[in-house]
Structure 1
């Protein structure tokens, strides 16, 4: 049923914040685009009157460079009010109090179609362009300044976030209904406990959870650590309120162990909720990928790792315990918005899995934690959008060091070197900052046909001053799952991978921690994982036991100076085939002179050769 077209008392609400009119004189020229939705059956735009006088929409046209939609009837838009013009009836998730479809007698449409990959759209009256917007891969149109806004994903729209019109991407954000945006602007005095995985095995996390007296709010991508489950159950028995928000559709599906733990928590009284697509396919974030907990509204636990047993005990990751009531209050607000059951993509666990059997949670103990605590200033950072703003400012101010350790780096960022963290690192290196990037390649092959993996990122950056190493774990950890960054005396810790999805489409959470002590703590970890510089690498071969005819002895390379994770291959008969593997190998020879060749293959795929005779 079509709603009556009454525009006099309707004001647009976008992303939990009401529209603020421009500071301007009364003028019909204060009509502006305020929302653009380009993907889906009901594509279209929202127009808002930012002036302080009514505006007549007659003779107004919405154009995309190829087609147009024109108003054919006299319609008046009151100050601060909006109207959406859409191809068809909107889906239930797209909230608009007043709208017209292309079939309405009040508009006339000719070949107007917004491209999914990118387009330009502008409103004009009598040949005068009043406002314009460009997104995705489209070429900027006359009146637009700078690069386009990024591509608009499905179930998202671009919305005007600035009260001042600059006709640039600075005015716009990507969002959807119920998506709370928090820009990284607040600074909080705090005390911070930095720690690392797998070194700590999660002990600081367990300590912080056990300190709860009133409540624990946990937002997590995956949870199957029995120790975490045991502590949460133990806390509930002491009267602590526990609320969990978990990703309901993680990549590969929700593991059986996680279902059992969430079911056990729900069965014992925890308020367990999952975020996943609603029945009509809508969800606010591509993934709820954050990994944090708020304890008693005064402590925030932040990790790069999922809360799983394997992640805590074998991955390289960073974490921090931040004690600050004001900082915690920001996370409480975001958690409350994200977990609100009025959002159609949030449901209680027992409604989604009513028959799932709770798993048994065994008693749990762990070694004491001896982590140090430091004073710091802390800035909360949330995706969408926050990491882009925060990292551009942080890296652009780097003077001495920029150390980044990443599970994944988007290849196109190294390819374009414009407006992304890789580009900012290259610029820091040009200014003289020691700039180093570690990329995990545990699942990459330098010899396969994948030309956009971690090895490819290293290859494309060879001409830059940023040093790049590809790592497949080491003797002390199995893989790099970190998303950490050290810039001078600041640290960035959280769940944010270096990809566009993580920056702009997921819900992610992170901290910027301004503390020389915390920065040095993680810098030492980074440099240890980096390993010796190339000029320091040395193959040192020796024999254990006295070589003699027919007698077994051991060839050893254990005194070599090489990065962790290096594998040694041996050619003991000078045939060019390296058929033996190991730091040490037992051998025996008959009478004669022999040359033993060894090849050390580093975790990044590079190799060094040596010989012993």
Structure 2
């Protein structure tokens, strides 16, 4: 379905709107559904020709199995009914599709039931149909679940208004901020709790996750292939582990080269781009030595595919590695707006997570006698068993060409993105002069550590866990240090929407300052366009003005500490604790402050509780802060630059 977008209003009343929003409370999570079975998701605007992949999800939210024999799904014009032996277990859910083969192609897993098309033998059962079975109209429809007596158990109205039993108020509409299409979205209910389950059944659009007015549990996006029901909130574990932290550009090249060259069994990597010739040669060398190497990169990166990227993938392919693009597979679109994670799993025992794509800008390998130049960022490596298990499961879900048609193999003969000409040689120049690394050696430590792992699009904006949950704990005597490529004031449609469109991350920083925390935001001033209405410059002006007016220990600056941009996505939080024993958390990963990063991209981040890690990174932040703003030695270049995601 395609919903017309409102025209964006001019930026007016920014300070007043922001002050109101960060001061107000958010609505609590809704109550649990009353009906035992609910319609929990609807996919009407399919990818397949004729919408063969359209589907409805049913969820048993009760504590007992429910026999659906004789129950039916209908759209008023036609229906499909369950035969005998249709027992939906307590807490279980079923996907019911038009065509099981088309559904599996779009979603990456089989449907439980199908009412038309070719039904594969493995796992999918057939529904009986009335008048050919339901047809879910893209523009809008009413889907009703009925029991064996024909009574309505639940209903979902989407796209266009409809009157009748089982629904009240406006229909469910997809949430689609700028850059995110309304087409092909999966509409689904708000989920809460652990494990997650539908959280409310008032027979209104406010029960659904696309609810534009609910800034905590609503304003969500979903496309086929996401596993939001299984992932839930960011998980946490405490265990004895080794940890290593490297700062870019200071020590990143050696850090990545050492970990990749140490592989003896396997390397699984998911990055936005991989364009560093020397690091690619190290990875290809491992593949030639018999190490299983798999790499997936974004198929449509901002600015296009660099020739060095094509050279690197061709080198890996020739060495026996498996190289893939994440991109549309025929009529099925890519699962994510951007494959933006920076994640490596080495030998199934070590995980690397960071803010930087492997390239010469972030990982220069030049002579450091006269300094260097590069992008500021951070990587963390650990052998923590829980983190390794999380990363391996994520790779298994995302990097599987047998399940997901958007995992597209690199084709050397592809004229658009295959191997470059035989006489091509990649530009190996990197670094420069003038920046003296402040963290030339990685930090290494071992001991009992706490970890929390965050993934987008599933749980990056969970209101009580992950980054937002951590920031909610900060108050008097605490400290929050933010170093970020992009942290706009507005999400959604911006000022045209009012308070609901304010960036919840920025609101959380301000709320921490209002509770008495010392808060500092250091944002990129190299790629930032200071005249844009939603730029880092606008954020700095807003934060500085708010801090002065309210007397908060809240400051913001733009900076470029290492000469080629501040590309980091780091948040450091020191909590004094009720007993006076400080707790130190570091959030490290690929998550920018944009809405698409949290809700539509594939992103990963690790939150680590470690005084050593926090102290190491806080010292880097202090150096960067001191040299930024009015004290900047690297002046921002005002003009058209494209920030590498």
TM-score by length of 1: 0.69
Alignment of 1:369-384 (within 5 A): 370-374=441-445, 375=447, 376-384=449-457
Per the TM alignment, residue 292 of structure 1 is displaced from its structure 2 partner at its CA by 1.9
Per the TM alignment, residue 459 of structure 1 is displaced from its structure 2 partner at its CA by 3.4
Whole-Å separation in 2 of the counterparts to 1:326 and 1:252: 36
Q: Deviations over 1:494-532 (max 9, x none)?
A: 111112211121111211111111112112222222227
Question: Cα distance 1:504–1:110, how it changes in 2: closer, same or farther (>3 A)?
Answer: closer
1:9 maps to which residue? none
Whether the 8 Å contact between 1:472 and 1:565 is mirrored in structure 2 is: no
Per the TM alignment, residue 291 of structure 1 is displaced from its structure 2 partner at its CA by 1.1
1:429 maps to which residue? 513
Whether the 8 Å contact between 2:74 and 2:145 is mirrored in structure 1 is: yes
Whether the 8 Å contact between 2:529 and 2:638 is mirrored in structure 1 is: no
Whole-Å separation in 2 of the counterparts to 1:135 and 1:443: 39
Whole-Å separation in 2 of the counterparts to 1:433 and 1:405: 17
> Match for 2:331 among 275, 280, 286?
280
1:385 maps to which residue? 458
Whole-Å separation in 2 of the counterparts to 1:430 and 1:524: 25
Whole-Å separation in 2 of the counterparts to 1:472 and 1:333: 37
Question: Cα distance 1:336–1:566, how it changes in 2: closer, same or farther (>3 A)?
Answer: closer
Whether the 8 Å contact between 1:470 and 1:603 is mirrored in structure 2 is: no
Alignment of 1:455-466 (within 5 A): 455-461=537-543, 462-463=545-546, 465=552
2:343 maps to which residue? 292
Are 1:52 and 2:66 counterparts? yes
Per the TM alignment, residue 133 of structure 1 is displaced from its structure 2 partner at its CA by 8.1
Question: Cα distance 1:369–1:424, how it changes in 2: closer, same or farther (>3 A)?
Answer: closer
Alignment of 1:320-339 (within 5 A): 320-339=380-399
Whole-Å separation in 1 of the counterparts to 2:59 and 2:87: 5
Question: Cα distance 1:287–1:356, how it changes in 2: closer, same or farther (>3 A)?
Answer: same
Per the TM alignment, residue 424 of structure 1 is displaced from its structure 2 partner at its CA by 1.2
> Match for 2:131 among 86, 105, 116?
105
Per the TM alignment, residue 228 of structure 1 is displaced from its structure 2 partner at its CA by 0.6
Moved more, 453-462 or 169-178: 169-178
Whether the 8 Å contact between 2:489 and 2:506 is mirrored in structure 1 is: no
Per the TM alignment, residue 237 of structure 1 is displaced from its structure 2 partner at its CA by 4.3
1:303 maps to which residue? 354
CA RMSD of aligned residues (A): 4.5
Whether the 8 Å contact between 1:34 and 1:45 is mirrored in structure 2 is: no
Per the TM alignment, residue 403 of structure 1 is displaced from its structure 2 partner at its CA by 1.3
Per the TM alignment, residue 234 of structure 1 is displaced from its structure 2 partner at its CA by 3.1
> Match for 1:396 among 469, 472, 477?
472
Whether the 8 Å contact between 1:230 and 1:361 is mirrored in structure 2 is: no
**Structure (1 or 2) with the greater strand fraction:** 1
Whole-Å separation in 2 of the counterparts to 1:249 and 1:347: 12
Corresponding residue SS for 2:468? helix
Corresponding residue SS for 2:301? coil
2:37 maps to which residue? 31
Per the TM alignment, residue 46 of structure 1 is displaced from its structure 2 partner at its CA by 1.3
Question: Cα distance 1:72–1:372, how it changes in 2: closer, same or farther (>3 A)?
Answer: closer
Whether the 8 Å contact between 1:300 and 1:321 is mirrored in structure 2 is: yes
Whether the 8 Å contact between 1:401 and 1:434 is mirrored in structure 2 is: yes
Are 1:563 and 2:631 counterparts? yes
Question: Cα distance 1:72–1:192, how it changes in 2: closer, same or farther (>3 A)?
Answer: closer
Whole-Å separation in 2 of the counterparts to 1:110 and 1:302: 41
Question: Cα distance 1:473–1:410, how it changes in 2: closer, same or farther (>3 A)?
Answer: same
Q: Which has the larger radius of gyration?
A: 1
Whether the 8 Å contact between 2:342 and 2:353 is mirrored in structure 1 is: yes
Whether the 8 Å contact between 1:134 and 1:148 is mirrored in structure 2 is: yes
Are 1:420 and 2:504 counterparts? yes
Alignment of 1:230-309 (within 5 A): 230-309=281-360
Whether the 8 Å contact between 1:304 and 1:481 is mirrored in structure 2 is: yes
Whole-Å separation in 1 of the counterparts to 2:429 and 2:326: 29
1:10 maps to which residue? none
Whole-Å separation in 2 of the counterparts to 1:506 and 1:386: 11
Whole-Å separation in 2 of the counterparts to 1:283 and 1:436: 37
> Match for 1:507 among 587, 595, 602?
602
Whole-Å separation in 2 of the counterparts to 1:466 and 1:107: 62
For structure 1, list consecutive stretches of 5 or more residues without a partner in the other structure. Answer: 1-22, 63-68, 535-561, 568-601, 606-613
Whole-Å separation in 1 of the counterparts to 2:486 and 2:186: 27
Are 1:473 and 2:486 counterparts? no
Q: Deviations over 1:101-154 (max 9, x none)?
A: 9x9736799999349xxxx98879999783668999xxxx9889xx99854854
Question: Cα distance 1:261–1:82, how it changes in 2: closer, same or farther (>3 A)?
Answer: closer
Corresponding residue SS for 2:538? helix
> Match for 1:349 among 410, 415, 418?
410
| Greater RCO, CA 8 A, separation 6+ | 2
Corresponding residue SS for 1:335? helix
Per the TM alignment, residue 264 of structure 1 is displaced from its structure 2 partner at its CA by 1.0
Question: Cα distance 1:408–1:112, how it changes in 2: closer, same or farther (>3 A)?
Answer: closer
For structure 2, list consecutive stretches of 5 or more residues without a partner in the other structure. Answer: 1-31, 118-128, 161-165, 202-206, 210-216, 365-373, 432-436, 575-583, 640-645
Q: Deviations over 1:223-259 (max 9, x none)?
A: 1112212222333344433221222221122110110
